[in-house]
Amino acid sequence: MELLPVRRALVSVTDKTGLVSFAEFLQRGGVEIVSTGGTRKMLQDAGLAVTSVSRVTGFPEILDGRVKTLHPNIHAGILADKDNPEHRRTLAKHHLAAFDLVCVNLYDFAAALKAGLSLKDMVERIDIGGPCLLRASAKNFQSILVVPGPGQYPRVQRELLDKDFHAGLPLRRELAAATFKLTAEYDALIAAYLAG
């Protein structure tokens, strides 16, 4: 798909820099926003309409937030190939909606390292759902736009404004590559820490 219409977004971020203005921009463009925990609360407090992930999954966030987005109702909507009729039929059969944009950033493991936290506390700073969402979105860049940090918000906004809320394939591929680089560096940092 050369031009991807952006109509539904999953937003779940640790770094909330510029988040409200980015989400307001998306909503002005008619984009439905699905979100989790603190991100959802911040957006709702700003007066934005937000669908909770729990409503999409039919299951509450559990284990102190360790399990929120790890669910087929989320990942099917991210990994569906929109050019594949069978994938589209599968989504329809299970009453699932595809996502067009995933805006996720990761727990700040580097900041936790600098703080010298205990091993137990450091383990809690290892993001699991975030890397899964990012990698799934980056893999499926032909059908989804991944936005891995606030630094990309201006670029994404320009693209969507220029293309009537569509995202071109070159940008989607570029941000997918940036996302894989980010998750590789994140995993390398954690591996080095655990190796001592």
Under the banding of pLDDT at 50, 70 and 90, the label for residue 89 is very high
CA–chain centroid gap for 99, Å, is 10
Could you list the residue range(s) of the whole structural domain that residue 176 is in?
3-194
**Contact in structure between 162 and 171 (CB atoms under 8 Å):** no
For residue 177, the SS3 value is: helix
User: Which amino acid does the sequence have at 62?
Assistant: I
The three-state DSSP-derived secondary structure of 15-29 is: CCCCHHHHHHHHHHC
| Total tally of structural domains belonging to the chain | 1
CATH number at residue 180: 3.40.50.1380
- Rounded CA-CA distance 118/122 in Å is 6
Banded model confidence at residue 82, pLDDT cuts 50, 70, 90: very high
pTM, two decimal places: 0.93
Tens of pLDDT, residues 30-58: 999 999 888 999 999 999 999 999 899 88
pLDDT at 37: 85
Q: What is the mean pLDDT of the chain?
A: 94
Residue 164 pLDDT class (50, 70, 90 cuts): very high
Residue 135: the pLDDT is 97
Q: pLDDT tens across 102-124, in order?
A: 999 998 999 998 998 999 999 98
According to DSSP, residue 68 is labeled: S
